[in-house]
Structure 1
Amino acid sequence: MAAPTTAQPALDPLDFLALDALLDDEERAIRDTVRQFVREQILPEVGDWFERGILPREVIQELAKLGLLGMHLHGYGLPGASAVAYGLTCLELEAGDSGIRSAASVQGSLAMFAIWRWGSEEQKERWLPAMHAGEVIGCFGLTEPDAGSDPGTMRTHAKRDGGDWVINGAKMWITNGTIADIAIVWARTEDGEIRGFVVEKGTPGFSAPEIHKKISLRASVTSELVLQDVRVPAESMLPGASTLRGPLSCLNEARFGIVFGAVGAARACYEEALAYAKERIVFDKPISAYQLTQQKLAEMVLEINRASLVALHIGRMKDSGTLRPEHVSLGKMGNVRGALEVCRSARTILGGNGITLEYPVIRHMNNLESVLTYEGTHEVHTLVVGGAITGTPAFR
């Protein structure tokens, strides 16, 4: 007797493996809200922002209105959303632009998380509600001109002077730095500890000049932080962190968002390439009918679905408490590299149109060159994974 047949659902080119079914109702609702926001308020403007090299401060205020800043943290009036919900938010924001996701990520996963995880109760109560509401913008100062992948060689130092700390040094490639109201600055103390300090805008000796002439992440504010005899009170120090574990834990939070965010950039380029291929007529038929174009599109679908599954699984691990930093390194390493390949392939489908800001592809492609490097370079994450599977660290 033949087995009963079940009608198969139609195949969706935009969700080839029907991954939407793996999300619960709340996760889909959050994702759809952010997706609508991006389509209505980001996509119509972001090409112009990229061309002009700006990110209006009002965009961060809009993110705050949606409750997205520090959304995965709990207590102090914060939403306490799941890791997966936060990851899906990063995915949709980066489908708009990596700079938008970076602004939210630096605010919530770096600056806010540093205070939430390592700060005093007074610091948490003073800063976290205001940062969630977008009233206070934060940045995170760890990377230096000569200390990127090896933050242990940082030269920024803090010295006790009576009841104060005096900080000297410089930080580099700091997202939100110029527009930030506070900076979380990491410095080495006289006794060799690594300490974080909340440095407020306007403190004498502290400045945050913006970095210009970027070709990538142009819809994002990138800055230097300069500290010349910056004096801060003792209560500005984050009391919970005294080693590199402090700033590195914050970076791991931000990297988690990138695992999802890269999928958003790749998806945006694939969707544009698919639509374009169906409309572009060459030799009397759409280029989507040619084998080479179909191969490119099929490889894109494969990568996006693979990366989506990796991101979702890592998100579920984070929610269950089983996620390790090495897992995040694997996710960032694979998903960003894969997203770059998707964007580059999409650019070839669009031909000359692929290099204009009338389409999102070259913008995402350029942005991902930065994403490949920041929050740990591709090479560093490769060595993290390599060390984890062999038991032999290869950094030194």
Structure 2
Amino acid sequence: MSTADTELRDLRAAVAALGARAGGSGELWAEAGKLGYLGVNLPAEYGGGGGGITELAVVLEELSATGNPLVLMVVSPAICGTVLARFGTEEQKRTWLPGLASGALRMSFGITEPEAGSNSHRITTTARRDGGGWVLNGRKVFITGVDATDATMIVARTGEGGPCLFVVDRDAPGFRRTPIPMEIRGGLRQFELVLEDVRLPANALVGDEDAGLRQLFAGLNPERIMTAAFALGLARYALGRAVDYARTREVWDRPIGAHQALAHPLAQAHIEIELARLMTERAARLYDDGDDAGAGEAANMAKYAAAEAAVRTVDQAVHTLGGNGLTQEFGLAALITAVRVARVAPVSREMILNYVSHHTLGLPKSY
């Protein structure tokens, strides 16, 4: 076993132990930041661990596998931290990265719009130059945790150019947020954002105005990898609860896990989880190695595989427990909607199939 593999194994064990003893999500976030887990992907010179998305995905997967997913990790250190580390100015890096790494600062990510959906080319939020700064106008929907973050990285268009990224302070005048009522339970809420003549200084622009699309996807590939890690962790959690129940629940003088009608679907779930984990690890390695094109394909496939495995695993886990699977005591019913999110966000499985059919197989576009 290589040194890198040993370090990843040790990281998994340490994070799993933290998740097992964790209190509330706020306490867990603070403790994970204190131990350096939230910033394992960020540069060491700015307070991070000097690793990559490989290590950060391990952290989220292991926390999720204990039933304690820190969903904001997908956005704050993975998307925003990565973009700032790769393309931010020295001032932006010094301002944000140490806090993102420690968990003292948090950042949301605003891309989705009511009319654009998954089509980033149809973003209508605009940014125009005004004197020495910028003015932003537009709307965003399904933006996670805006009330719990210090700023939001907003995707906007400048004239006829491609998308650009701006850091908008949560209290900026003209920047309004409205909670969206959701059936999903969890510590973070979803918001609709309205930006009405939001004035920003020149240094709010992240990176190069002419390289916005490349910078955008530098954050979106980690988002897909981290979503896969989130889904895999919850799938492992659900499978563990179901296996424990199947071993101990006795009907007709034997454990129900002795019956192939229950044992085989659980075994199949385990196989699908492990296959999706391999693709997630591959995607993370490609990204950390600087292969953005290869990582794009692998990240999409990892997210697809992990989401499908998670949905099927949770469904089987609930079915294994029968009525108990729908009780709050066993904590599985809430996962039905939680893992479903991974099928539709940050990109739907149908758009991933479009990506693979067009980019990988060379088939013509249907849209």
Q: Deviations over 1:266-310 (max 9, x none)?
A: 111111001101221223322112221112222122212222222
Tell me the TM-score normalised to structure 2 length: 0.92
**Residues 241, 276 of structure 1: CA spacing in aligned structure 2 closer, same or farther, 3 A cutoff?**
farther
Q: For residue 324 of structure 1, what is the amino acid of its counterpart?
A: A
2:207 matches 1:236: no
2:93 matches 1:93: no
**Map of 1:318-329 to 2, 5 A cutoff?**
318-322=287-291, 323-329=294-300
Deviates more, 1:284-293 or 1:264-273: 284-293
| Equivalent position of 1:266 in the other structure | 235
2:215 to 219, 237, 246: 246
Q: For residue 171 of structure 2, what is the amino acid of its counterpart?
A: G
2:5 matches 1:24: yes
| Equivalent position of 1:256 in the other structure | 225
Alignment length (residue pairs): 363
Deviates more, 1:159-168 or 1:62-71: 62-71
Distance 1:189 1:215 in 2: 36
Three-state SS of the structure 1 residue aligned to 2:186 is: coil
**Map of 1:124-135 to 2, 5 A cutoff?**
124-135=93-104
Distance 2:232 2:162 in 1: 37
The answer to whether the 8 A contact 1:156-1:187 is kept is yes
1:343 to 314, 328, 333: 314
Distance 1:355 1:62 in 2: 31
Q: CA deviation at 1:175?
A: 1.4
**Residues 250, 319 of structure 1: CA spacing in aligned structure 2 closer, same or farther, 3 A cutoff?**
closer
Q: For residue 111 of structure 1, what is the amino acid of its counterpart?
A: C
Distance 1:179 1:88 in 2: 24
Q: Give aligned-pair identity as a percent.
A: 32
1:372 to 326, 332, 343: 343
The answer to whether the 8 A contact 2:135-2:198 is kept is yes
The answer to whether the 8 A contact 2:29-2:70 is kept is no
1:224 to 189, 192, 216: 192
The answer to whether the 8 A contact 1:178-1:222 is kept is no
**Map of 1:1-396 to 2, 5 A cutoff?**
24-42=5-23, 45=24, 56=26, 58-74=27-43, 75-97=45-67, 100-212=69-181, 214-242=182-210, 243-322=212-291, 323-396=294-367
Distance 2:132 2:273 in 1: 53
Three-state SS of the structure 2 residue aligned to 1:296 is: helix
Three-state SS of the structure 2 residue aligned to 1:80 is: coil
Q: For residue 392 of structure 1, what is the amino acid of its counterpart?
A: L
Three-state SS of the structure 1 residue aligned to 2:180 is: coil
Three-state SS of the structure 2 residue aligned to 1:169 is: strand
Q: CA deviation at 1:241?
A: 4.7
Structure label with greater radius of gyration: 1
**Residues 206, 388 of structure 1: CA spacing in aligned structure 2 closer, same or farther, 3 A cutoff?**
same
Q: CA deviation at 1:191?
A: 3.7
Q: CA deviation at 1:127?
A: 1.2
Distance 1:210 1:37 in 2: 31
Tell me the TM-score normalised to structure 1 length: 0.85
Three-state SS of the structure 2 residue aligned to 1:216 is: coil
* RMSD of Structure 2 on Structure 1 (CA): 2.2
Distance 2:137 2:66 in 1: 37
Q: CA deviation at 1:97?
A: 4.6
Three-state SS of the structure 2 residue aligned to 1:215 is: coil
Q: CA deviation at 1:319?
A: 4.1
Three-state SS of the structure 2 residue aligned to 1:197 is: strand
Distance 2:91 2:3 in 1: 40
Q: CA deviation at 1:388?
A: 2.6
**Residues 219, 317 of structure 1: CA spacing in aligned structure 2 closer, same or farther, 3 A cutoff?**
same
Q: For residue 168 of structure 2, what is the amino acid of its counterpart?
A: V
Q: Which runs of 5+ in 1 are unaligned?
A: 1-19, 46-54
Which one scores higher on RCO, CA 8 angstroms, separation ≥ 6?
1
Distance 2:59 2:327 in 1: 27
Distance 2:22 2:96 in 1: 27
Q: Deviations over 1:66-117 (max 9, x none)?
A: 212232122422211244322211211222457x332112111112222222
**Residues 39, 260 of structure 1: CA spacing in aligned structure 2 closer, same or farther, 3 A cutoff?**
same
Q: CA deviation at 1:249?
A: 2.1
The answer to whether the 8 A contact 1:383-1:393 is kept is no
Distance 1:393 1:129 in 2: 45
Q: Deviations over 1:194-235 (max 9, x none)?
A: 2211111211111223333x2225232322222111111111
Distance 1:21 1:278 in 2: 35
Q: CA deviation at 1:393?
A: 4.5
